[in-house]
Amino acid sequence: MRKLLALTVTMALVAALTAYLVWTQDRPVAHYLSDLRINVAVNQGQPADRGNLLGIQPELFPADYQSVERLHLKLAAYLQKAREQGFINDKTIVVMPEHIGTWLMLGGEKNEVYQATHWQDAMSWLALSNPLSFARAWISATGGDRMNDAYLRMKAETMARDYQLLFGGLAKEFGVTLVAGSIALPNPSISQGQLQVGHGPLYNASVVFAADGLALGQPQRQFYPIYDERGFIEPGDENIINVVDTPAGRLGILIGSDSWYPDNYRKLNDQGAQLIAVPAYVIGRDTWDRPWRGFKSVSTPTEISLKPEELSEGQAWHRLTLISQQPISQANAGMSVFQRGQFWDLGSSGQSFLSNNGQVFADGSARGARLLNIWL
């Protein structure tokens, strides 16, 4: 009787394990209608032969990332609208928002991931449907937050490949220089124009793609990750700040709140940066209008007198982003571009803006995809 019971239990476990493994391989693609519309929010200056900075503030959702083809369709529609408006030329620099590449971790997943209501539920489905990859990533995790580290690490090579394919492809398709927001990867680097994944800590990094589809320079790593990411995103070396040559001039990148620190602008000045792109992301549906919580690092720059809760988050961004504010920044112009949309219960509320001659030009609308353009 015991042998029969043991055999029955063993067979049931084998059957359950087999069913689970079959389930993990089943990745049906659900029908999905995405809004491809985008409106012109700001168009500053007059067309000339010096080029322009073009910000794409997309409205994105988890299902947009089910495949590279689906995300390409949406982003290409935005760029096509910009082309129809006359904003695309061979000196155009396109700026995408922070973490637009990080969400490539969602590619090719089960529908349960995209249909989840809460972030934690979606990540649980992600781990359950990739058990071996998640286990290997968890063992290799280096951050204090091993779970979030593993979610990103387990798909790092695929994410890097898709990032290059998507954003390098868009740059080549439209003949522009493209600042591809940012992506979280283990020790990313560029070799012969191709994005490579290394070993060790995760970094939030931005890559610039030229009109031939190849990456320029090296990835710019974020210096000051936000509080919620410090357990799994490693700060970049503050002494390494990259400037690349583009058809419109020398371009520097500051990710997110790195744009709040005067010393970063001085480092860009030393390298002759004429233009500055700020891929950014503000978590929370109404955070933009809530009191500002302060700087993202241990120390506050001595020359900044702004105190926490003195202004709203949005007002603080406008005041602290010092692009083209002499003498701190000698750049001619710049742009801060935020991602919008809804990822489960993680809202977003940043509103993109331009910086030129010490002035800020912004669109007050909080909804929908937006184009922002400044002629140089």
Angle at 371 between CA 365 and CA 374, to 5 degrees: 110
pLDDT of residue 304: 84
pLDDT of residue 333: 96
* Average confidence score pLDDT of the chain: 90
pLDDT of residue 71: 96
pLDDT band, very low/low/confident/very high, at 300 (cuts 50, 70, 90): confident
pLDDT of residue 249: 96
Reference 306, options 255, 262, 362, 361; nearest CA is: 262
Mean pLDDT over residues 292-311, rounded? Answer: 83
191-to-159, 217, 241 alpha-carbon distances in Å: 16, 9, 18
pLDDT of residue 27: 54
pLDDT of residue 3: 56
pLDDT of residue 14: 45
pLDDT of residue 13: 47
Q: Write down the CATH superfamily of domain 36-375.
A: Carbon-nitrogen hydrolase (3.60.110.10)
Q: Is the pLDDT of residue 169 over 90?
A: yes
pLDDT tens for each residue of 3-52: 545 545 454 444 444 444 444 555 566 556 778 999 999 999 999 899 99
Q: Is the pLDDT of residue 172 over 70?
A: yes
pTM of the entire structure? 0.91
Q: Is the pLDDT of residue 66 over 50?
A: yes
pLDDT tens for each residue of 245-288: 999 999 999 999 999 999 999 999 999 999 999 999 999 888 99
d(C-alpha 234, C-alpha 224), whole Å: 9
Residue 11: count other Cβ atoms within 10 Å of its Cβ: 10
